[in-house]
Structure 1
Amino acid sequence: MALCHGNDTDQQALLAFKGSINDHFGYLKTWNASTHFCYWSGVTCGRKHVRVIKLNVENQKLDGPLSSFIGNMSFLRSLYLSNNSFRGEIPSEIGRLRRLHRLYLGNNSFHGEIPSNLSRCLNLVSLVLDGEIPSSFGNLTSLIGFYAPLNNLQGKIPDSFGKLKNLEIIEVAANHLSGTIPSEIFNISSITTFDVGMNQIQGTLPSSLGITLPNLELFIIGGNNISGSIPSTLSNSSKLVYFLAGRNQLTGSVPSLENLNGLQQLTIPGNYLGTGEPDDLSFIASLTNASRFRILEIQFNSFGGVLPASFRNFSTELQVVQLSYNRIRGNIPSEIGKFVNVEEFQEILV
């Protein structure tokens, strides 16, 4: 069935979008009057109203400012602009897109602040951005995923993020975020992915971490200034697969991880963990419960003692063992030969 003409507002908005940018590889060459706009590259229309509901031009090397006319496509539900060279400020008119569910603007060259009126897009469930995070984003109560790695984010993670009770994913790695992680975030039990690695975040991890985040699968805080101990409750996050906390200021002992049967990676180098005492490596026994455990990186700490006999019970999927620059004594266990998948084993014993 042929499309009816639809709404001319969407066509004009798309042409304004095209007119403001450089399309070096001709991805938008179909955007002309000879073809209905619903058939233009990257454009998806809804059948009922013949209005644009999705615009996807990711990875097309588009260059230039984002037209404010984008805010006129009032039926838009998904806007994917990531991995281009869009520049200038993010137009505040995007805040008029009340039906918007997904907004991906990451890995561009936007500057200035993220418009605070984006918080009017109350149906947003997934968000990828550049800039400083407005506190008003705490009003996006439908938000499930917040993705903003490698985006030069400044300032703090707003306390208001603690109100996002449906949030499952926080990915803000490799930015310039500082301050502490709002304690309320650690009470959002739906979180499965928490990645704040490679920032300048300070503070400590809450003692109840494993209890309040029972669905946690990936936890990355590496490359920050986080101090204190690894919470003893961590083992309560029984779905945890990856725990990466290297290059911080963590101290004390590593707790038992006996309930983390799905754990595949424990990476905690470059801290102040361990006391040089004989029982520092007792946690290794608990890791043998993880049948798919692959990577153990504990180098550049203060672990003492000898490798416990339980080391021989590690999963045969073991690939990487990094123990160097600690206070570990004794010999390399002969059982290392049974781990046929080990690609890297570094150990300096004193």
Structure 2
Amino acid sequence: MNLKNSLFASLAMLALAVPVTGGAFVFVSASPALAKSDKDKGGSGRGSDRGSRSDRGKSDRGRGSSSQGRSGTGGGNGNGNAYGAGNGNSGGSSGSVKPAKATTTATVEPESLDGEVALRPNQLGSMNGAMNANINAVLAHIRNGNTNGPVGALAGLAVAEHNAAEAETLLETAGDFAALDEALEAAGYEDLQTYLDSGETDGNVDAAIAALGDAAGTEPPTEEEIAEAEAALAALPEAEAAIFDAWNKSGSATEEEKQALLDALRDRLDGEDEAIAAAIEAAVDRASETDGDTEAEADGESDDGASDAEEEGGDEGAEETAALDPEAQAMIDGLKY
């Protein structure tokens, strides 16, 4: 028996002399070149960790190869010796099952920007034309009194917004004059001029005068002007309803989406107040000219009851009058502000 065999024999006897604890053999190695080797046979009492920890062997002469594999709950063995010849294999089937990926259903919602709903092009539908229309096309619809289609509906909204803004200013002024009258009456003055001539001061009257600003030296709005302003405010919801009538997606749109559309259209008109006012003025002038031509034609009727326009097949003024539908004419008639 050579030295190396004696060493192995001594180690074997030492292992037998060590008490068995926990159902496993404990091997003590006197040389770092020796690798640990366990046997794991799926729950037997001979070691629970051999398949993974004994696959590497190191020696003074070389490196042992280690097995590659994954071991779950099955048996595995591996051997490594001091000569550097190491081998190990493991085999087993894993009891774990790869979990299936959860399936999520995406809900299509309008895009949002800074907490506000923003409609995508496919949600705008027919209103893409209004959103992308050149402002000159919108102004032309205003001048011609054309409220047909998406662009015409946008033109009607532009007119209604303009009229409503001026109507609100007039109604606020009327309210300030009413507040001044109440303050003068409470202070015992017949009118503003009487108060100014008195040379006295009253805090409530002075506050009411300050609220009027530049309008303090003017006449208060008449009852007719107030009625027209109220009618202009009432026309705004009608113009908004016309937008939805021209929108082919309004039937399935939510209230938030409808409001988002109105906001987007108003943003589209932002900064065009002067151009819109000029187009409205041109529409009013055109309507006045048309009315004048109609009156002239009525005065120029021939003895047989036929007008000059009828004899000639209709002049340009008559054609323009015929081109305006009742809804467009009503819009032009309302262009007061």
Q: Shorter-chain TM-score: which interval?
A: under 0.3
Name whichever structure is richer in helix by fraction. Answer: 2
TM-score normalised by L of structure 2: 0.17
User: Using CA pairs below 8 Å that are at least 6 residues apart, which structure has the higher relative contact order?
Assistant: 2
Q: Which has the larger radius of gyration?
A: 2
Q: Which structure dedicates a bigger proportion of its chain to strand?
A: 1
What TM-score, normalized to structure 1? 0.16
